């Protein structure tokens, strides 16, 4: 891996900023900047106020000085508490992505270019002074011709090229760290860079953000617990997003919430419940839920609701991971450490060679000290982070989606405890998750899934006999190839019998399940009970044919 010569000056600048903020230990520990320590004599000595700050605060200030892309990188690192020490992660979590605004005339020009018409064609008014400005985009207030108040989010001019250039620099730094850092296999710097790159790629497409807002709004269409502003699709493009303007109070403005008479305890409970509903009911969650993006509607103090903003970073999980994660949470709530260990292996997050008893003991060692405290004082997010850190010693393979979820859990728990310091996260979360799982994996929902997939199954049904015949022929041919080995032949015959039995009962079970789905479609005439009985018979047939060891 070679660092391109054209990025060397920028690498030098990064090193000089780190040294200027007295991050010598970081430069030394990283190993990749060893040659650059020669520039120390030429770097201005840090101010006394910088010298007195903690290492996390100094790193936060250094990333801010390096520019928006490094701020984004710091935000990602703040979520990687399995890699970054807690004191540094806490400081990086405070990074505010605020930069000076670009001229409103340029924003107007971009809107006209994207919407292919003068601003006055689509908006009755367009305020060139931005309401807010960040590294990727800024937001302007506007009014539609029907009098509706909206906000217009506009990408910064030339931001795509700037990000491409800075990502190359980050990748070069990551390659150096990958090559020279002694713990590169654990830190995985290139994976961190990839996370930053993916996050930025998503944020550069405002039409994608609009689609995310639209889906989240549909998931909470009642608006009772959370309100999501509507997207004006006719005024939205890749670099322009027009949303309904909403009004509220930031969820961390406790004084304003109290002045409005908001029931903060009820709001905190609702926030925890919303997290589990987004993750395990809808499998689509707001992954940037810091107070700046989560407001509170003060118009209904007795029945408060949240207002969601900024949908550039959303998360979802593969269905299998969603199931395994939910089971892990339930096992954690019930303090079933052996099950937590087994679930990690069954999910494929750890190699099957891991000794379950050792992993169980490690999980118990992490969890037991927490349960000596009152449940209201236990941080579920902190415990999950420590479990991930422990699991990494056993070759845990952690997917980026789970890392994003971990960050969201930290944010939501932080908001909940800020609103109500005495909230019992465990007491709120456990029944909510059990209810969601009971509904998600109920027999009725299974039958509905069968009904939904019935057309494609019926379409593929004529191919089943030929597929079974081919499979049996392959089994028979395998027997003939192994006649010279009597033990292997006997084993293959046994496997063939298992396969034939599984196929037979599988066909019977599949037929009964299809029959149950057909009855379900005719439920008004035959009743749902008949469909359920036939469906249960199909499941029994599947179980009867399941291979036994």
Q: How far is CA 438 from CA 98, 326, 442, in A?
A: 43, 11, 6
- What is the rounded CA–CA span in Å between residue 235 and residue 542? 53
Q: 6-48 pLDDT, tens per residue?
A: 555 666 677 777 777 877 666 555 554 555 555 556 655 666 6
Q: Does residue 304 contact residue 319 with C-beta atoms inside 8 Å?
A: no
Q: Which residues of 248-279 are buried (b: 16+ CB within 10 A; e: fewer)?
A: bbbbbbeeebeebebbbeebbbbbbbbbbbbb
SS (H, E, C) 363-406: HHHHHCCHHHCCHHHCCHHHHHHHHHHHHHCCCCCCCHHHHHHH
Tell me the whole-structure pTM to 2 decimals: 0.72
pLDDT at position 282 is 92
- What is the rounded CA–CA span in Å between residue 489 and residue 483? 6
Q: Does residue 301 contact residue 261 with C-beta atoms inside 8 Å?
A: yes
Q: Return the active site residues.
A: 288
How far, rounded to the nearest angstrom, does the alpha carbon of residue 509 sit from its chain's CA centroid? 37
Q: How far is CA 298 from CA 250, 295, 302, in A?
A: 10, 9, 9
Q: Report, as ranges of residue numbers, the positions in the chain whose pLDDT lies below 70.
A: 1-12, 24-48, 76, 79-83, 96-99, 180-187, 375, 396-401, 403, 442, 445-446, 450, 454, 457-458, 464, 471, 475-549
Q: Does residue 201 contact residue 167 with C-beta atoms inside 8 Å?
A: no
Other residues' Cβ atoms within 10 Å of the Cβ of residue 42? 8
Domain extent listing, the chain: 1-97, 98-246, 250-441, 443-545
pLDDT at position 124 is 97
Cα–Cα–Cα angle for 520, 522, 527, rounded to 5 degrees: 70
CA dihedral 202, 206, 210, 211 (to 10 degrees): -50
- What is the rounded CA–CA span in Å between residue 64 and residue 72? 10
- What is the rounded CA–CA span in Å between residue 317 and residue 329? 15
pLDDT at position 89 is 80
Mean pLDDT, the chain, rounded, equals 78
pLDDT at position 241 is 97
């Amino acid at each position: 891996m070679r660092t391109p010569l054209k990025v060397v000056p920028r690498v030098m600048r990064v090193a000089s900023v780190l040294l200027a903020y007295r991050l010598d230990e970081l430069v030394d520990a990283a190993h990749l900047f060893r040659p650059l320590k020669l520039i120390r004599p030429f770097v201005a000595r840090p101010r006394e106020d910088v010298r007195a700050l903690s290492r996390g605060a100094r790193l936060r200030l250094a990333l801010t000085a390096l520019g928006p892309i490094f701020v984004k990188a710091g935000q990602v690192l703040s979520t990687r508490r399995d890699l970054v020490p807690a004191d540094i992660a806490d400081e990086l979590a405070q990074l505010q992505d605020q930069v000076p605004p670009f001229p409103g005339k340029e924003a107007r020009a971009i809107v006209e270019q994207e919407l292919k018409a003068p601003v006055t064609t689509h908006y009755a008014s367009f305020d060139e002074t931005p309401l807010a400005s960040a590294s990727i985009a800024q937001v302007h207030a506007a009014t539609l011709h029907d009098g509706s108040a909206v906000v217009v989010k506009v990408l910064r001019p030339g931001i795509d090229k700037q990000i491409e250039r800075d990502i190359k620099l980050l990748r070069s730094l990551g390659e150096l760290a990958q090559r020279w850092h002694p713990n590169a296999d654990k830190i995985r710097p290139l994976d961190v860079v990839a996370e930053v790159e993916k996050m930025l790629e998503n944020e550069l497409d405002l039409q994608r953000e609009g689609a995310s807002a639209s889906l989240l709004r549909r998931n909470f269409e009642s608006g009772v617990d959370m309100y999501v502003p509507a997207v004006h699709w006719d005024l939205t493009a890749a670099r322009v997003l027009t949303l309904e303007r909403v009004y509220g109070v930031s969820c961390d403005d406790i004084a304003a919430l109290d002045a409005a008479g908001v029931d903060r305890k009820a709001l905190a409970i609702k926030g925890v419940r919303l997290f589990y509903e987004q993750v395990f009911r809808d499998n689509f969650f707001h992954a940037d839920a810091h107070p700046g993006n989560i407001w509170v509607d003060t118009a209904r103090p007795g029945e408060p609701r949240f207002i969601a903003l900024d949908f550039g970073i959303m998360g979802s999980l593969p269905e299998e991971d969603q199931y395994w994660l939910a089971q892990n949470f339930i096992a954690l709530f019930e303090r079933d450490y052996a099950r937590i260990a087994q679930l990690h292996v069954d999910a494929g997050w750890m190699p099957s060679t891991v000794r379950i008893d050792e992993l169980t003991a490690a999980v118990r060692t992490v969890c037991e000290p927490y349960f000596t405290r009152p449940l209201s004082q236990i941080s579920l997010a902190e415990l999950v982070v420590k479990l991930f850190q422990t699991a990494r010693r056993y070759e845990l393979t952690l997917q980026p989606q789970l890392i994003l979820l971990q960050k969201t859990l930290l944010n939501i728990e932080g908001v909940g405890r800020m609103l109500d310091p005495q909230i019992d996260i465990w007491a709120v979360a456990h029944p909510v998750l059990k209810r969601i799982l009971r509904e998600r994996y109920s027999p009725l929902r299974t039958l509905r899934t069968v009904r939904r997939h019935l057309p494609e199954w019926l379409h593929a049904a004529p191919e089943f006999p030929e597929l079974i015949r081919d499979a049996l022929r392959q089994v028979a041919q395998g027997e003939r190839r192994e006649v010279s080995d009597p033990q292997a032949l006997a084993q293959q015959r046994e496997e063939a019998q298992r396969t034939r039995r599984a196929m037979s009962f599988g066909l019977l079970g599949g037929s009964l399940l299809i029959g149950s789905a057909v009855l379900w479609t005719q439920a008004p005439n035959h009743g749902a009970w008949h469909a359920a009985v036939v469906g249960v018979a199909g499941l029994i047939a599947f179980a009867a044919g399941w291979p036994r060891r």
